[in-house]
Amino acid sequence: MSSKLDLKMDKLPAHIAIIMDGNGRWAKKKGNIRIFGHQNGVEAVRDTVEGAAEIGLKYLTLYAFSTENWNRPRTEVDALMQLLVSSLEKEKKTLMDNGVRLLAIGDLLSLNNNVRNKLQKVIDETSGNTGLKLTLALSYSGRWEIIKAIKNIAVDIQQNKLDVKDICDKTFNDYLDTQGYPEPELLIRTSGEHRISNFLLWQLAYTELYFTETLWPDFRRGDLYDAIVNFQSRERRFGKISEQICE
């Protein structure tokens, strides 16, 4: 497992996104119910966030709850929402101690009032922090985000706030939940699955993908550093050839 010393600090990705997968399988391996895995996943979040803040990472986005997750059994969804509320309250000190600013993207209006209010409270209380920007993707899906952006663009065209000929990549970026964020340079998915599961579909166009067999509750900052070391060994060409990159 890698340490901070293994990293090239001048070549850190500006933005890392993580699909935190494997909580249920981890719990099943332990002979316990799924929520047990989610509860233990909180420790993985804490250590990963602290590790990211320690190395000076600027943006970390965690896929915490997808729009499709609403289709899970009601008991699991309710337990996840309760866990989110309790975790926000317990982890606020960790965020403040590490200078982490909390943000959120997704269909936040679909969250119940208690969850939304607790979330907004921590967002407000950490808004002055200038270190890592930690974004939770909640009730989020890439398709939902893109459709919402298209609808908002259409409204602005109808109201003569936007001309069709002015629409470009940058324009579209400005209508996404991640407006102002750099695109993720590295996506990590745990648990051995090789999918992006409707996450940041527009933003991941040139993102490096890293898959690990580690189940999320076992993930720690050393695993994050492993992924960064792997990222730093890759040649990113963005459609060019190697010789152009070396020029």
Cα separation, 166 vs 178, whole angstroms: 20
Cα separation, 74 vs 80, whole angstroms: 10
Beta bridge partners of 238: none
Contacts by 154-159 with C-beta closer than 8 Å and gap 24+?
A: none
Catalytic residue status for 177? no
Buried b (16+ CB within 10 A) or exposed e, 175-214: bbbbeebebbbbbbbbbeeeebebbbebbbeebbebbbeb
Inter-residue contact 228 to 208 (CB < 8 Å): no
Catalytic residue among 21, 177, 223, 226: 21
Catalytic residue among 47, 69, 129, 198: 69
Is 217 buried (19+), middle (13-18) or exposed (0-12) by CB count in 10 A? buried
Cα separation, 158 vs 115, whole angstroms: 35
Reported as type and span, the H/E element at residue 110 is: none
Catalytic residue status for 21? yes
Q: Kind of pairing, strands 208-211 and 186-189?
A: parallel
Residues annotated as catalytic (active site), given as ranges:
21, 69
